[in-house]
Structure 1
Amino acid sequence: MPYDPQTQKLNISAGLASVSVAGTLVLIKLWALWATGALSIAASLADSAMDLLISAAGLAAILYAARPADEDHAFGHTSVEDLASLGQAIFVAASGGAILWAALARLFAPEAPQLADEGAGIAVMIGSAALTAMLVLWQKRVAAKTGNKVVSADMLHYIGDLIPTLGAILALWLSARFDLARADSVIAILAALIMLRGAAKIFIASWHALMDRAAPEAVVRSIAEIAEIWPGVRGFHDLRTRTAGAKIFVQLHIELDGAQTLEAAHAIAKSLKRAILDAHPQADVIIHMDVWQS
């Protein structure tokens, strides 16, 4: 089952906004790095460059995931969201590792690095932070409405980008005000560690989804509670769930009175399926009907 048009429109808007903001941030941070030579800006620039690649891949994944099921992909294409998130985690981890290595080398170098034109760098990074914050707010709104994992993962990247950006502002200010050039390396190290932590969380969540892990316990409990009290359902068993991207695939066996007509039994199953979909719009529900044994 593909996303509905409104949901898909929101997902695409978030993807396009992400690519546009990432491209803009790369350009202005390149100039700021050239002007200042600050490694903390280099850390923020590297994160933005990775975000640009990841955002472009994420937008492609959003478009691909919206394709309807076909002969080769009977359950749709939403698993590409988990693959894209997995790739995002690997890219972010590689970027964080490179920044950590460079920052440690500079921190323990015999000579402290000399930064330049801190005022211009601070102005650029403040603009970057404001632009990133606006994007994060929009992505948060879209992710809350659609549950799209690519948008959620991209939002985490940009939240992570805010931290090295703010750190770069602090490093430049400390260098200009107190001549503490080594603060630049310390802040870059902290930013790299935050990036590595975020990458690990994204990787684990994507890995679980690709391994057909069950839906969150609250979702499973909600479905069970609906089935338990549904009129005409005498009992249920073999409730199974798995996730793929923002989709939740549900299989459920319900026990019905064997004396009723087939038409009546189908009406009960159909109404139960609708109730589950109302509670969880991104679910794909299959209900099997069994005869109740008293």
Structure 2
Amino acid sequence: MSAEPSGLTPAQSAQLTRRAMLLSVSVAATLVALKLAAWIASGSVALLASLVDSGLDLLASALTLFAVRYAAIPPDAAHRYGHGKAEAFASLLQGGLVFASAALIGREAVQALVTPHPIQREGWAIAVMLASTALTAGLLAVQTRVLKRAASVAVAGDRAHYAADLASNLIGLAGIAAAALLGVAGLDAAAGLAIAAILLWGAVGVFRQASDQLLDHELSERTRAKIVELMTQDGRVTHVHQLRTRAAGPVVHVQMHVDLDPHLSLEAAHKVIVDAENRVLSEFPSADILIHPDPRGRAEPHGGAFAESAPPAA
């Protein structure tokens, strides 16, 4: 399901999202440096798997940061619906990089199972994996707080990626420790295979969420019901139909037909519609709303590609 709208303006949501992605890039860069040094010293396959994953994390987070900035650009003459779907494209890219990292990790793990070799300086490897786990857990906590306030499919995709990383760090740590304590090098490679499987599962979730936005998945029934409730608080709005909703990054697009008293003047009908729109915006300030008024009992069915049946009689 697509990310649900928040109570923030697009500017506020974009600011929170940029901060979260800047932190993600910083954490990924730190982890790459730590893991690279530890892998050179230890030769651990599980650590190599985690290093490859962190390297792709850095690339994905940097590209997603660019996409988040681009998605926040206001609508222009060529993109009248804004640039919000850039976030979903960035999430698709993240999913592809996760699949690539899983393939590389799986190949290294299989080779290590066939020709196992002992881990060197396992103390360094364990220390780095502990630091990596702590940094990743801290980043996830920040991203979780951001997602409670701002609906961003880019941050959600990045968080899903790092959640898989946290699990892979724990498995890698267990594999390195077990191989060091028991002297069985194959345990390290087995941990690498487990990490690859977790990354594949995480990539599926990232693809699913990004595709929901790219394919204009409807918002939740709860959100749609809330929109209808806000519209019909004024008794002069007697029916809402042809309600369509979709998310594009931090912005949600809402369009609908509403039934009004056919004897209202054009000015009075306009005021009813504007007041109803403002009620929806008070709850969903990031919404772009289009409302088509119909004279109750006299409206023609909506035609075209999304034709509807005749509206109910008054």
Normalising by the residue count of structure 2, what TM-score does the alignment of the two structures yield? 0.88
**Counterpart mapping for 1:105-184 below 5 A:** 105-107=111-113, 109=114, 111-184=115-188
> After superposition, what is the alpha-carbon deviation per residue over 1:256-286, rounded to whole angstroms, capped at 9, x for unaligned?
1122222221222122212222333332111
Match of 1:13 in 2: 19
Deviation at 1:229, TM superposition (A): 4.3
Q: Distance in 2 between matches of 1:225 and 1:273?
A: 12
State the one-letter code of the partner of 1:96: A
Provide the aligned length of Structure 1 versus Structure 2.
291
State the identity %: 37
Match of 1:66 in 2: 72
Q: Distance in 1 between matches of 2:242 and 2:80?
A: 22
Q: Distance in 2 between matches of 1:9 and 1:236?
A: 34
> After superposition, what is the alpha-carbon deviation per residue over 1:196-252, rounded to whole angstroms, capped at 9, x for unaligned?
111111112212321222223332232233334443102121111222223221111
Q: Distance in 1 between matches of 2:11 and 2:83?
A: 16
> Is contact 2:98-2:203 (8 Å) kept?
yes
State the one-letter code of the partner of 2:196: A
Deviation at 1:3, TM superposition (A): 5.2
Normalising by the residue count of structure 1, what TM-score does the alignment of the two structures yield? 0.94
Residues 176/280 of structure 1: CA separation in 2 closer, same or farther (3 Å cut): same
Moved over 4 A (4+): none
> Is contact 1:83-1:206 (8 Å) kept?
yes
SS of equivalent to 1:243: strand
Q: Distance in 1 between matches of 2:285 and 2:160?
A: 24
> Is contact 1:231-1:268 (8 Å) kept?
no
> Is contact 2:28-2:55 (8 Å) kept?
yes
SS of equivalent to 1:254: strand
> After superposition, what is the alpha-carbon deviation per residue over 1:48-73, rounded to whole angstroms, capped at 9, x for unaligned?
10110000011101110111000000
Task: Confirm whether residue 39 of structure 1 aligns to residue 45 of structure 2.
Answer: yes
Task: Confirm whether residue 24 of structure 1 aligns to residue 23 of structure 2.
Answer: no
State the one-letter code of the partner of 1:51: D
Task: Confirm whether residue 82 of structure 1 aligns to residue 97 of structure 2.
Answer: no
Which consecutive residues of structure 2, in runs of 5 or more, have no partner in the other structure? 1-7, 298-313
> Is contact 1:228-1:235 (8 Å) kept?
yes
SS of equivalent to 1:238: strand
Q: Distance in 1 between matches of 2:109 and 2:235?
A: 64
Match of 2:235 in 1: 231
Once the two structures are overlaid, the 10-residue window that deviates more, 36-45 or 172-181, is 172-181
Match of 1:279 in 2: 283
State the one-letter code of the partner of 1:218: R
> Is contact 2:157-2:209 (8 Å) kept?
no
> After superposition, what is the alpha-carbon deviation per residue over 1:69-116, rounded to whole angstroms, capped at 9, x for unaligned?
000000000011111111111111111122112212322x1x432101
Q: Distance in 2 between matches of 1:43 and 1:281?
A: 43
> Is contact 2:147-2:156 (8 Å) kept?
yes
Q: Distance in 2 between matches of 1:51 and 1:3?
A: 29
Once the two structures are overlaid, the 10-residue window that deviates more, 170-179 or 85-94, is 170-179
**Counterpart mapping for 1:192-271 below 5 A:** 192-271=196-275
Q: Distance in 1 between matches of 2:205 and 2:183?
A: 37
Which consecutive residues of structure 1, in runs of 5 or more, have no partner in the other structure? none
